[in-house]
Chains A and B, each alone.
Chain A
Amino acid sequence: MKVKKIRGHSRKDVLLLNDMGLNVMNKVMSNKWIIAIYTLPALLLIGVLIFIPLVLTGYYGLMDWDGIGDMSFIGLENYKNAIVDGKFWSSAWHSTLLAFFSTLSLAIYLMISMILASKLKGADFLRKIYLIPMLLSSVAIAQLWIKVFNPTNGMLNYVLMKLGIENPPAWLAEPSFVLFAIFIPILWQYAGFYILIYYAALKNIPESIIEAAKIDGASPLQIAYRIKLPLIKGIVKVTIVLAIVGSLKYFDLIYVMTGGGPNGASEVMASYMYKLAFASNDFGYGSAIGFLLLIITLIVTVIIRKLTATKDEIQY
């Protein structure tokens, strides 16, 4: 206890005051009314706008409902439909593919971060440059990349034609290319984010460990693979969760770039759900898909969180 803070009392008075003060303090700081005033507004907001809607999504999923008229209870009919709905499965497959690509791309990000964190001058500046795309809205990113991919005037095909490729594809209009084409801006957008996380983790590794390895004659590659990587395993696992869960939720970018097309070739779970509800007015079935999305996201999060629980075992 810092006695100095209390003005105008002798040390003895203060000690006496401390006892009284602590009592007053405990009383004041556990006042139920004050606690309610401070927490209820925030609780009310997340309750009404986050938790109740989640419960309602599950509830609407059991209904046949166009969003305006009367609901009728149809039990698990919507979920049964989902199981045999080819469009749902193809959207789920596309989400899975994106999750897979995103996870693979972590290796590239990790490699860049390793180089960046190896005592290079200007690393701090570079990682800020890498972060810039992450700050733009998905709508702006989508619109920009629509232009990059433009078949006749886009930057990409201009370069390809200069390189002598005669008929470069119309990237976003080709069902076989579209998902890969969409992944490029995703890669671009999130690079700085993951590099930032890895860089911070790598900088936390004590210098002495690296020095000891160098003295023992370890090559830079060995240090990277055998020493640094195991030491940041916990963070790597966290980023895998982020990449997978994030991919399952992709929406804005795809909705703006292709609207799920051509012919459903880039439809993902969130965009399929959105279309069902707000384009086909099938709120019941849309809610069922939304509920599945929630369950899948939570299961994936919990599973990989279990894996990350090992991170405390690391000892330097």
Chain B
Amino acid sequence: MNRIGYYLLYVFLAIVALFQIFPIIWLFLFSLKDNREIFAGSPFALPTEFRWENYQKVWDGGIGVYFWNSVWITAVAIILTVVLASMATFAITRMQWKLSKLVLGLFMVGLMIPIHSAIIPLFSMFLKVNLIDSPWSIVITYTAYNLPITMMILLGFYYTLPREIEEAAIIDGCSVHRMFFRIILPMTGPVISTTVIINMIYNWNEFVFVNTFISSDKYKTLTVGIQNFIGQYMTDWGAIGATLIISVLPILLAFVFFSNKVVEGISSSAIKG
């Protein structure tokens, strides 16, 4: 490839990168401005003064509650999903029983289901058992809907575990539970961290379940919370910008530190069809 062509390709790739990243930088810039500056100045200008008080204002204004709801709901659902998915994957891949293939098939069919086709009955079911407007409806729904994808990521790893480990453990008189929790589960650490990241992105960003099942402000998570919140600050762009930056920050930070895991997780969750 000749030199000029080589540089042209780089310029092209850089423009694509700019297109991908610039809207987020713009958002960060206006989250630190006040309206006068946003409406009168160039959108590309740096803030004359960094107005961090925008962040303070929206945090105290109620975003804090949504933030912590997102944190604990995301965390509890991740733990439940990863533990239940690991247990089921273990039984399906490592234990001998006739229906294992069929059960695996059921989980994999779960990958293809559009959630919107289930949301009306879910709503009426939760209404009947008094789980509407309870954060637990969200936790168990996240867990159920993330089980298939989590198991799919785990499967490959479980199939490659050597039989000898289990044989040695059992000959040494280890029970299945001990073997699973003390030996197998720790061994799957690397793939578990991939599933945790993927679950974190899904749960943190989920919108429609919370929007449908939760009506009290005290239980709302960030995605739904910021929706209402932004309504109040209709014309205060600085506040809206700060709200949005707060809502995306944890995921962006996770990406900065674990980008390889994120890439791995997204590519292995992609080929689900």
Contact surface of A with B, Cβ cutoff 8 Å = 1-2, 5-6, 17, 21-22, 24-26, 28-32, 34-35, 37-39, 41-43, 45-46, 48-54, 56-57, 60, 67, 112, 115-116, 118, 120, 126-140, 143-145, 147-148, 152-155, 158, 188, 191-193, 196-197, 200, 220, 238, 241-242, 245, 248-249, 251-252, 255-256, 270, 273-274, 277-278, 283, 286-287, 290-291, 293-294, 297-298, 301, 305, 308
What residues of B have a CB within 8 angstroms of the CB of A192 in the complex?
20
- How far apart are B139's CB and chain A's nearest CB, in angstroms? 11
Closest to A52 in B: B121
Q: How far is the CB of A246 from chain B (nearest CB, A)?
A: 10
**B20, A57: Cβ atoms closer than 8 Å:** no
Instruction: Please name 15 further chain A to chain B contacts, defined as beta carbons within 8 Å, in addition to the given A274-B116, A277-B119, A278-B123, sorted by A numbering.
Output: A1-B167, A6-B168, A24-B171, A29-B166, A39-B103, A49-B145, A112-B16, A140-B248, A143-B230, A144-B27, A155-B26, A238-B270, A287-B120, A293-B114, A308-B273
The answer to whether B170 and A25 have CB atoms under 8 Å apart is yes
Contact A188 B96 (CB under 8 A): no
Q: Which residues of B contact A294 (CB under 8 A)?
A: 113-114, 117
10 interchain pairs, CB-CB under 8 A: A21-B171, A28-B176, A38-B180, A42-B147, A43-B88, A45-B84, A118-B9, A120-B9, A136-B251, A196-B263
Determine if B144 and A46 form an interchain contact, defined as CB atoms under 8 angstroms apart. Answer: yes
The answer to whether B166 and A25 have CB atoms under 8 Å apart is yes
Q: Are A50 and B145 in contact (CB under 8 A)?
A: yes
Q: Mark B38-82, 1 if CB is under 8 A from A, else 0.
A: 110011000000000000000000000000000000000000000
Q: Which residues of A contact B145 (CB under 8 A)?
A: 49-50
**Cross-chain contact B114 with A270 (CB below 8 angstroms):** yes
B4 CB contacts on chain A under 8 angstroms:
none
* Complex: A273 Cα to B13 Cα, angstroms: 40
**In the bound complex, CA of A29 to CA of B165 (Å):** 13
A185 to chain B, nearest CB (A): 9
Whether the pair A188, B20 counts as a contact (CB closer than 8 A) is yes
- With contact pairs A25-B167, A57-B117 given, residues A39 and B92 touching in the complex (Cβ less than 8 Å): yes
Q: Which 10 pairs, one residue from A and one from B, show the smallest C-beta to C-beta distance?
A: A137-B205, A56-B121, A38-B91, A53-B118, A49-B144, A53-B121, A294-B117, A42-B88, A21-B171, A45-B144
Chain A residues whose CB sits within 8 angstroms of the CB of B255 once the complex forms = 128, 131-132, 135
State whether B207 touches A138 (Cβ < 8 A). yes
Is A129 touching B226 in the complex (CB atoms < 8 A)?
Answer: no
**B151 — which chain A residues lie within 8 A by C-beta?**
42
Main secondary structure of the interface of B (DSSP, over half): helix
A30 CB contact (under 8 Å) in B97, B114, B116: B97
Given contacts A25-B166, A137-B204, A155-B43, contact A128 B106 (CB under 8 A): no
Is A251 in contact with B116, judged by CB distance below 8 angstroms?
A: yes
Kindly state the separation between the CA atoms of A274 and B166 in the bound complex, as whole angstroms. 49
Q: State in angstroms the CA–CA spacing of A32 and B118 once bound together.
A: 32
Given A6-B172, A133-B20, A139 contacting B223 (CB threshold 8 A): yes
Known: A135-B252, A153-B38, A158-B42. A53 touches B125 (CB 8 A): yes
What residue of chain B has the Cβ atom nearest to residue A159's Cβ?
A: B43
Query: Using Cβ atoms and an 8 Å threshold, which residues of chain A touch B230?
Result: 143
| Contacts A5-B164, A34-B91, A115-B12; A134 near B266 (Cβ below 8 A) | yes
When chains A and B are docked, how far (Å) is the Cα of A207 from the Cα of B116? Answer: 44
Give B80 Cβ to nearest chain A Cβ, in Å.
9
| A residues in contact with B144, CB < 8 Å | 45-46, 48-50
Contact yes or no, B143 A139, CB < 8 A: no
CB closest residue in chain B, given A269: B116
Which residues of chain B have C-beta atoms less than 8 A from A298's C-beta?
Answer: 112
Question: What residues of chain A lie closer than 8 Å to B168, measured between beta carbons?
Answer: 2, 5-6
* Chain B hits for A147, CB < 8 A: 27, 30, 237, 240-241
B39–A29 touching, CB < 8 Å: no
Q: Given A46-B107, A115-B13, are A29 and B96 also a contact pair (CB < 8 Å)?
A: yes
Complex Cα–Cα for A293 and B263 (A): 30
CB-CB < 8 A to B147: which residues of A? 42, 45-46
